Amino acid sequence: MEVLMPEPQIYVERTLAIIKPDVIDKEEEIEDVILRSGFHILQKRKLQLSPEQCSNFYAEQFGKMFFPNLTAYMSSGPIVAMVLARNCAVSYWKEMLGPSNSLRARITHPHSLRALYGTDELRNGLHGSLSISSAEKEIRFIFPEAILEPLPTGQRARDYLNLYVKPTLLAGLTALCRERPADPM
C-alpha cells in the first residue's frame, strides 16, 4: 500500500501581527488562535517601541486627530510582533482581526480578535498589515534582518535547483565517494 504524502507547502505571503500593550497578557491565547487558524509564525519578537519609533511605524497616520494618542498608546508598554505566513496571509489576518474599531467589531464581527480583545476605537488589541507592500515595509521595520525576497515556485524553482543546487550536490557527493575513509566510524 502506497502512502500518499501531501506536497510540502512553501508559504510566500507574509504579514505582520502585533499584540499591543494592553493585551500582552493574552499572548499565549492569541498565539494559539493564530496557529489553529493555519498560520506559521516565522519570527517573533517582544519589544518596547519608543514614541519616536511608533511615529515612524505609523507615519501614514501622521496628521490625523488620533495620531498622538496612538503613538503614546503603542509606546506605553511592551508589544509582541510576529511574522505570520500562509496562503493569502494578509487578507486572512485582516479578516480574523475584524474592524479596527473594537466597539464596531463587537456588533458587526463579534467573533473577530478585535471584538474579543480590544476595548475601544484606539485600543483595539492587535495590529495587522493592510496590504502585501505594507506588510513588507512593516516587517522590515520590526525585523530589519528579515529576508523578504519572494521564494521561487514551479518552473522557476526547478530551474534554480537545476542550475545551482544539483551541480553543487553532484560535485560534493562525487568528491565524498572518492575519499572513502578507511574507518568511517
Question: What is the 8-class DSSP label of residue 140?
Answer: H
The residue among 121, 133, 19 whose CA lies nearest residue 78 is 19
Please report the pLDDT score of residue 182 as a whole number: 73
pLDDT in the model for residue 7: 60
Using one digit for the tens of pLDDT, what is the confidence trace for 8-48?
556 668 999 999 999 999 999 999 999 999 999 999 999 99
At the topology level, CATH places domain 13-142 in: Alpha-Beta Plaits (3.30.70)
Report which of 74, 89, 100 is spatially closest to residue 19, judged by C-alpha positions.
74
Would you state the pLDDT for residue 5?
63
Q: Which helix (H) or strand (E) holds 127?
A: strand 126-128
Which three cell numbers mark 157? Answer: 524553482
pTM: 0.75
Domain with CATH 3.30.70.141 in the chain: 13-142
User: What per-residue confidence (pLDDT) applies to 13?
Assistant: 87
- Enter the C-alpha cell of residue 48: 518596547
SS3 14: strand
Check residue 26 and report its DSSP letter.
G
Position 42 scores a pLDDT of 93
Catalytic residue ranges: 127
The proportion of the chain whose per-residue pLDDT surpasses 90, expressed as a percent, equals: 67
Grid cell in block for residue 59: 507615519
- Low-confidence residues of the chain: pLDDT under 70: 1-12, 147-154, 181, 184-185
Q: In what order do the strands lie in the sheet with 126-128?
A: 40-47, 79-85, 14-19, 126-128
